[in-house]
Amino acid sequence: MTCILNADDAHLNGSIHKAALMIKNGGTVVFPTETVYGLGADAFNPDACKKIYMAKDRPVDNPLIVHISSFDMLNDVAYIDDDLLNKMKSIWPSPLTLLLKKKNNVPDIVTSGLDTVCIRFPDNKIALKLIDEAGPIAAPSANLATKPSIVDSETAIKELNNRVDAIIDAGRVKYGVESTIIDCTKKPYELLRPGAFSLEDAISILGNVHASEYVEGYNESKIALTPGLKYRHYAPSKKLFLIENENEFIKFISSDKSKDFLALCSYDNAKYARYDKIILGKDIYETAHNLFYDFRLLDNSDKKYGVIQSFDEKGIGLAVMNRIRKASFMAVKDKENIGKINMALYE
Ligand code: AMP
Ligand code: MG
């Protein structure tokens, strides 16, 4: 039985306390962060961390992120040089995750046997309080493996009921895409995953951060640098088609070809949709906020397929496009390839 913990003002402290006790006793708890919901357990308890992989059907070679709520805690789990530590003091808590050399007390199950560990200091008051009480929490995103990340507690309850010990029922999260991951074990630092913390801001604070073209989200299986990136991610169950050329996207959604498609589009492009549509947002922040939520709306709709437009890859837009490409069954860049969409419907 999963315990659903009420997060309204009157119950919040009691709920967090209960969740922390569960974690200390080797249990698993789904909790909100500012990015997406996480599925956490005591980072120092290997048996508890094993339950995370089982609850999510996650392959054990895809390591977890260790969540901390203070710089003292950081000291228990990873090595960091003074220069980087000082910079992080001006940034954390925030949706920027660092890959660092791990300390020995972090069990192998957390890092899939690697000598590095991802560290995150989340900017969410429920998460911070939970970690304060329970100690460092190992947590990946709460979704079942390959599914879109979970950005609301209703979906968390639907997807994880009876798979975890407790779920904190705290509504929608702030950003809607996962944290940015930067590998700080090498120079220059390397962007492993674009996320809610913009690359531009990371560079202005940390200095040079190298971003290879795989962060765009194409063909990650061939060039996986981080273990998690070899797996298909974030995808709705229905086939989603990305049309990167905006004119072609508009032509497609305004034509009869789009009859069986739900169009996922910006506020400005919604007027062109001849059939059903979902407006992702008025700006890129709203789009990020709604993206995974709307993938699930697509799955619950009566349309057979989804078609989605592209967005500017600035700021959080880099993460939005990375997630869209990974979630897409097919990405079509130009006019010549539009015909491939129809062929793919029968694959
Ligand atoms: P999730 O929280 O579900 O987004 O998953 C955590 C992400 O962090 C995955 O993409 C992992 O591959 C990545 N990650 C965690 N630990 C490491 C590590 N030691 N080395 C490389 N990537 C890592
Ligand atoms: Mg994930």
Q: What is the mean pLDDT of residues 323-340?
A: 86
DSSP notation for 244-260 = -SHHHHHHHHTSGGGTT
Ligand nearest 43 Cα, by number?
A: 1
Does residue 242 sit in helix, strand or coil? strand
Give the angle 262-264-265 at the CA atoms, nearest 5°.
135
Strands 78-79 and 94-102: antiparallel
39 lines ligand 1 (CB under 6 A): no
Question: Cβ neighbours of residue 158 under 8 Å, at least 6 residues apart?
Answer: none
The position carrying tokens 């079942």 is 144
* Cα separation, 32 vs 197, whole angstroms: 17
Using alpha carbons only, how large is the chain's radius of gyration in Å? 20
Q: What is the mean pLDDT of residues 335-347?
A: 78
Give the pLDDT score at 138.
98
Give strand pairing partners of 182.
98, 191
DSSP state of 83: H
Q: What is the pTM of this model?
A: 0.95
In tens, the pLDDT along 68-105 reads 999 999 999 999 999 999 999 999 999 999 999 999 99
In tens, the pLDDT along 186-200 reads 999 999 999 999 999
- 114-123, 135-144, 299-308, 324-333: which range is least confident on average? 324-333
For residues 110-120, one letter each, b for 16 or more C-beta atoms within 10 angstroms of the residue's C-beta and e for the rest, the string is bbeebebbbbb
Give the pLDDT score at 64.
98
Give the pLDDT score at 329.
85
Which residue would you say has higher pLDDT here, 339 or 204?
Answer: 204
- Whether 274 shows a pLDDT value over 50: the answer reads yes
Ligand 1 centroid to Cα of residue 226, in Å, is 7
In tens, the pLDDT along 213-267 reads 778 887 543 333 344 444 457 889 999 999 999 999 999 999 999 999 999 999 9
62 lines ligand 1 (CB under 6 A): yes
* Strand residues in 28-103 grouped as ranges (E): 29-31, 38-42, 65-67, 78-79, 94-102
Give the phi and the psi of residue 345 in degrees, each rounded to 5. Answer: -60, -25
Kindly give the number of the ligand 1 atom that is closest to the alpha carbon of 181. 8
Give strand pairing partners of 240.
306
Query: Is it true that domain 3-211 has CATH number 3.90.870.10?
Result: yes
Q: What is the mean pLDDT of residues 294-314?
A: 97
Does residue 318 sit in helix, strand or coil? helix
The position carrying tokens 């429920």 is 126
Kindly give the number of the ligand 1 atom that is closest to the alpha carbon of 117. 19
Q: Ligand 2 is a single-atom ion; what residues have CB below 5 A from it?
A: 141
Could you tell me the pLDDT band of residue 340, with boundaries at 50, 70 and 90? confident
Hey, where are the domains in the chain?
3-211, 240-344
Mutate to test the pocket of ligand 1, among 33, 52, 58, 64 (most ligand atoms within 8 A of CB): 64
Share of the chain above pLDDT 90, in %: 86
Average pLDDT, the chain: 93
* Cα separation, 267 vs 309, whole angstroms: 11
* Cα separation, 323 vs 140, whole angstroms: 16
34 lines ligand 1 (CB under 6 A): no
65 lines ligand 1 (CB under 6 A): yes
Give the angle 306-310-311 at the CA atoms, nearest 5°.
135
Mutate to test the pocket of ligand 1, among 62, 151, 175 (most ligand atoms within 8 A of CB): 62
Q: What CATH number was assigned to the domain covering residues 240-344?
A: 3.40.50.11030
Own/partner long-range contacts of 212-216 (Cβ < 8 Å, ≥24 apart): 215/191, 215/318, 215/322, 216/313, 216/321, 216/322, 216/325
In tens, the pLDDT along 52-69 reads 999 999 999 999 999 999
* Cα separation, 131 vs 133, whole angstroms: 5
* Cα separation, 19 vs 30, whole angstroms: 9
Q: What's the order of all strands across the beta sheet hosting 305-309? A: 277-281, 261-266, 305-309, 240-243, 330-332
Q: What is the mean pLDDT of residues 305-327?
A: 96
In tens, the pLDDT along 101-153 reads 999 999 999 999 999 999 999 999 999 999 999 999 999 999 999 899 999 99
